[in-house]
Amino acid sequence: MTLKDKLAAQKIYLLLAALFITSLVVSNLIFQKFFYWYPLDIEIFGAKLFEISVGILPYPITFLITDLISEIYGKKRANQVVVTGIFASLFSLGIILLSNYAPATSWSPVGDSMFSTVFGNTAIAVFASMLAYLFAQFVDIQIYHFWKRLTKGKHLWLRNNFSTFTSQFVDTLTILLLLCSFDIIAWDRFYGLLVAGFLFKVLIAIIDTPFLYLGVYLFRKRFNLKVNEEIELI
């Protein structure tokens, strides 16, 4: 691979990392709003399919990106992005806490109480999200590369879905356990939200599989990569 190609690959890697970090931080900030989507008239453990946090919406993007980075750039670069995402979450948490303690003026469009209502639980949410995310992302990367070695780089759909399904369940279970433990969400909603959140993430994971295939195809075509070949960055 030429130096020009390596520089291009480096730029794309940075763009993917930026999308990943943005999706992660935004999901932590918007998690308190819950929305509904009822494609079927089904209730599970008292919760309809689907009643879930809007924080879930950007989350599947993070798993798609880590799978794409794992496939093209390797396990080390995928883990690197995960660690960077944790740092970004901590940094955003520090800014929010500082803003929450700063007293609002009498004429401020957003007063202390409103700001606290929206962002007051963010510290707990970021803590819960980071722990869940840390477990889930490392599980995703480990399982992805396990299946990649086992299939010798073939059957992309298999490792993408197996790794994502498992990691999404770990993520949903961990974050709900923590949020219920901190009384952010009532325990009687735990099982319903667990099933609804996991099924929604599985649905999104199935939908994003063609996008992963497209991304891998474009990378291999642009950089003349063989099956199972990874890009070594500068």
34, part of any domain: yes
Beta bridge partners of 53: 34
14, part of any domain: yes
Are 81 and 17 contacting, i.e. CB atoms less than 8 angstroms apart? yes
User: How far does CA 173 lie from the centroid of its chain?
Assistant: 14
Mean of the pLDDT values across residues 9-37?
Answer: 87
Q: Can you give the pLDDT at residue 125?
A: 66
Asked, as a colleague might, if the bond just before 162 is cis with ω within 30 of 0, I would say: no
228, part of any domain: no
* Residue of 38 and 47 predicted with greater confidence: 38
Q: Can you give the pLDDT at residue 122?
A: 64
Q: How confident is the model at residue 126 (pLDDT cuts 50, 70, 90)?
A: low
* pLDDT exceeds 80 at position 137: no
Are 175 and 31 contacting, i.e. CB atoms less than 8 angstroms apart? no
Q: Can you give the pLDDT at residue 191?
A: 87
Q: Can you give the pLDDT at residue 199?
A: 85
- For the stretch 139-178, pLDDT in tens is 877 887 888 888 777 777 777 778 878 888 887 888 788 7
CATH label of the domain that carries residue 113: 1.10.1760
229, part of any domain: no
Total of domains in the chain: 1
Q: Can you give the pLDDT at residue 195?
A: 86
3-state secondary structure the chain: CCHHHHHHHHHHHHHHHHHHHHHHHHHHHCCCCEEECCCCCCEECCEECCEEEHHHCCHHHHHHHHHHHHHHHCHHHHHHHHHHHHHHHHHHHHHHHHHHHCCCCCCCCCCHHHHHHHHCCHHHHHHHHHHHHHHHHHHHHHHHHHHHHHCCCCCHHHHHHHHHHHHHHHHHHHHHHHHHHCCCCCHHHHHHHHHHHHHHHHHHHHHHHHHHHHHHHHHHHHHCCCCCCCCCCC
Q: Can you give the pLDDT at residue 232?
A: 87
Q: Can you give the pLDDT at residue 167?
A: 80
Predicted TM-score (pTM) of this structure: 0.82
* pLDDT exceeds 80 at position 184: no
100, part of any domain: yes
- Give me the domain span that covers residue 106: 3-223
* pLDDT exceeds 80 at position 49: no
Task: Decide: residue 232, CB within 10 A, 0-12 exposed, 13-18 middle, 19+ buried.
Answer: exposed
Average pLDDT, rounded, for the chain: 83
Q: Can you give the pLDDT at residue 121?
A: 66
What are the C-alpha distances in Å from 7 to residues 21, 56, 78, 231? Answer: 21, 33, 18, 11
Place of tokens 């399982």: 143
Distance spanning both ends of the chain, measured CA to CA: 11
233, part of any domain: no
* pLDDT exceeds 80 at position 40: no
* pLDDT exceeds 80 at position 10: yes
Task: Give me the percent of the chain exceeding a pLDDT of 90.
Answer: 14
Mean of the pLDDT values across residues 114-138?
Answer: 73
- For the stretch 76-115, pLDDT in tens is 898 899 889 888 888 888 888 888 889 999 999 989 888 8
**Within 10 Å of residue 22's Cβ, how many Cβ atoms?**
15
Name the range with the highest mean pLDDT among 7-16, 75-84, 118-127, 188-197.
Answer: 7-16
